[in-house]
Amino acid sequence: MTEIAKEIRKTLLKLANKAKGPHIGSALGCVDIFSALYFKVLRLEPYEDRDIFLLSKAHSAMSLYSTLFHKGLMCEEMLFSYYQNGGTLPAHTDRSTHKYVEISAGSLGHALPMAIGMAMAFKKDKQDRNIYVLMGDGEIQEGSIWEALMLGSKLGLNNIVALIDRNDLQGYGRASELIAYEPLEDKFIAFGWDCMRVNGHCEDSIIKAINSKKDKPLCVICDTIKGKGVSFMEDKLEWHYYLVTDEIYKKALEELQ
């Protein structure tokens, strides 16, 4: 775990404790993906020529908000308005709240189709810009994902990188047990995409996979652990829902310290 990823996790816990809202496990599990993207991959300036990041699994919005804060793109006042009465930031992303929150999301399966349209537009306008989409492994049960995959490969959209947060836990159990989706690499390749599988908590591996992008759209399957960084939350379904009380916050923060 890098220092910046550790700091993002500390902020996440503080945010969840103040908000008394769910999804801390989902948010903690994808921090290393966010850290790799925002600190090593994404071109964010000039704003008009930026790469686009779409958070499809928007119940992990705390990860996006905390990363934007640590990147210096969101102020502390806005960050801690998250999930507050009269606050700015909702539990699921709303594109009207901040210039680096690119889409309104929450209902799963929509961001990849949106990315296809954006990538087509960038190609048409000859803009050298990339689109990055983070999806959950439960989310890829949606048929809209596979329709988008077919079109993306047909159009040769090599300016898209889809990342799968493969923690094998969704709202009601193990994603791999609720519906059969493995072997994922073979399926993405069969749909005409390049595909790599990496340790989703190793930033160097994530970056190396992204940099391997060639003439096809790319999928990076990131094997992750829900609740990563806090031992009593790791790989536990209940942390999809449980709240971070003052006692839990103190205990979790001690581990990260």
For residue 224, give the CATH number of its domain.
3.40.50.970
- DSSP code, position 239: G
Q: Is the pLDDT of residue 179 over 90?
A: no
Strand, helix or coil for residue 47: helix
Q: Is the pLDDT of residue 159 over 90?
A: yes
Around Cβ 106, how many Cβ atoms within 10 Å? 16
- DSSP code, position 231: T
Question: Which one-letter amino acid corresponds to residue 39?
Answer: F
Q: Is the pLDDT of residue 228 over 90?
A: yes
pLDDT tens for 4-35 read 999 999 999 999 999 999 999 999 999 999 99
pTM of this structure = 0.96
Taking residues 108-125, report their average pLDDT.
Answer: 97
Share of the chain above pLDDT 70, in %: 100
* Size of the chain, expressed as the number of residues it contains: 257
What's the structural domain count of the chain? 1
Instruction: State which residues form the domain around 62.
Output: 3-256
Q: Is the pLDDT of residue 73 over 90?
A: yes
Share of the chain above pLDDT 90, in %: 92
Give the pLDDT confidence score for residue 244 in this predicted structure: 97
Tell me what the pLDDT averaged over the chain comes to. Answer: 96
Q: Is the pLDDT of residue 180 over 90?
A: no
pLDDT tens for 118-157 read 999 999 999 999 999 999 999 999 999 999 999 999 999 9
* Burial grade of 180 (CB within 10 A; 0-12, 13-18, 19 or more): exposed
H/E element, 182: none
Taking residues 190-194, report their average pLDDT.
Answer: 97
